[in-house]
């Protein structure tokens, strides 16, 4: 085999029942948090003999469906879908063709598995911390431009934010910025924040990648963080802990989310039929991008 350079033919292996490949559908490859998820998945899948193939799928239902159909067409053994945008009935139909685990999306489906952060609790922790610092005018970037779906993390985090602000008696002091969770979306959101009167003293970016964009735009406009505006992310992506960034954020245990998702997928591939929905408790991390109001 070595002399002839023989390599197993994946299509032929698939005809025998397994290709030992798993597809990972990502909305994009810009968000550094997805690298943490991938590392967690690989820690479980690689020792089990599986290769993980990544499909950047965009953020529309149609583009994500095309990638998932590709996983099925290539006879992959399973699929991990990160914050899929399709509605539950479509996801369940897809799960009937390929063992499926969702990451980020809150689900109670009996036909697939899911792993998510307790996003409402994470948002509550953000608001409670900022109010302890004396902030009363707080904004949040919602990331709900494309699809409004109560099961998506952006929806759950927003509901948690609204509930916590109301509980603090600050419902009249909140602002919601309808922006994308991306670097450019963060920059756009920062420009929107600076146009508000009165200007919020703190912003919950909803995701680290958005916070990075906000901080970049504020810096370009000579608006100091945290002196003029406190910024909080969500993810605890590797960049957030760098000394020059030191982003206050919520750790949603991305590596563990990936590990749990891989374990669920392997047991689903092995024949488990009962669904499992895991909710991971997040941890608030106070760093240098927040200060007393």
Give me the domains of the chain, ranges plus CATH numbers: 10-116+253-281 (3.40.50.2300), 119-252 (3.40.50.2300)
**Tokens linked to 79:** 């699929």
**Tokens linked to 252:** 């949603």
pTM of the model: 0.91
Per-residue pLDDT of the chain (293 residues; tens, 9 = 90+): 677 666 565 555 555 568 999 999 999 999 999 999 999 999 999 999 999 999 999 989 999 999 999 999 999 999 999 999 999 999 999 999 999 999 999 999 999 999 999 999 999 999 999 999 999 999 999 987 655 789 999 999 999 999 999 999 999 999 999 999 999 999 999 999 999 999 999 999 999 999 999 999 999 999 999 999 999 999 999 999 999 999 999 999 999 999 999 999 999 999 999 999 999 999 999 999 999 99
Q: How far apart are CA 81 and CA 233, in angstroms?
A: 23
Instruction: For residue 12, give every residue at least 6 positions away whose Cβ sits within 8 Å of its Cβ, in sequence order, or none.
Output: none
Dihedral angle sign, alpha carbons of residues 125, 130, 131, 137: negative
Please provide residue 277's backbone torsions phi and psi, each rounded to the nearest 5 degrees.
-125, 110
């Amino acid at each position: 085999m070595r002399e002839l350079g023989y390599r197993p033919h994946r299509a032929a292996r698939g005809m025998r029942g397994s290709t030992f490949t798993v597809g990972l559908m990502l909305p994009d490859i810009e968000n550094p948090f997805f690298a943490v998820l991938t590392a967690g998945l690989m820690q479980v899948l690689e020792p089990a003999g599986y290769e993980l193939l990544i499909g950047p799928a965009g953020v529309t239902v149609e583009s994500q469906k095309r990638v998932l159909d590709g996983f099925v067409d290539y006879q992959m053994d399973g699929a991990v879908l990160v914050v899929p945008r399709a509605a539950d009935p479509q996801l369940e139909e897809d799960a009937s063709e390929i063992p499926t685990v969702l990451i980020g999306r809150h689900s109670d489906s009996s036909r697939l598995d899911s792993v998510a952060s307790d996003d409402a609790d994470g948002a509550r922790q953000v608001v409670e911390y900022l109010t302890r610092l004396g902030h009363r005018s707080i904004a949040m970037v919602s990331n709900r431009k494309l699809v409004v779906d109560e099961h998506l993390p952006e929806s759950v985090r927003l509901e948690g934010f609204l509930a916590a602000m109301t509980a603090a008696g600050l419902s009249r002091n909140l602002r919601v910025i309808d922006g994308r969770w991306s670097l450019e979306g963060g920059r756009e959101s920062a420009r929107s924040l600076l146009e508000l009167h009165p200007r919020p003293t703190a912003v919950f970016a909803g995701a680290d990648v958005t916070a990075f964009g906000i901080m970049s735009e504020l810096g370009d406009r000579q608006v100091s963080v945290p002196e003029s505006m406190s910024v909080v992310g969500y993810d605890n992506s590797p960049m957030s802990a760098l000394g020059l960034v030191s982003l206050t954020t919520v750790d949603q245990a991305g590596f563990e989310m990936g590990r749990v998702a891989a374990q669920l997928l392997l047991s689903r591939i092995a024949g488990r039929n009962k669904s499992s929905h895991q909710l991971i408790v997040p941890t608030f991390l106070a760093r240098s991008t927040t200060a007393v109001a």
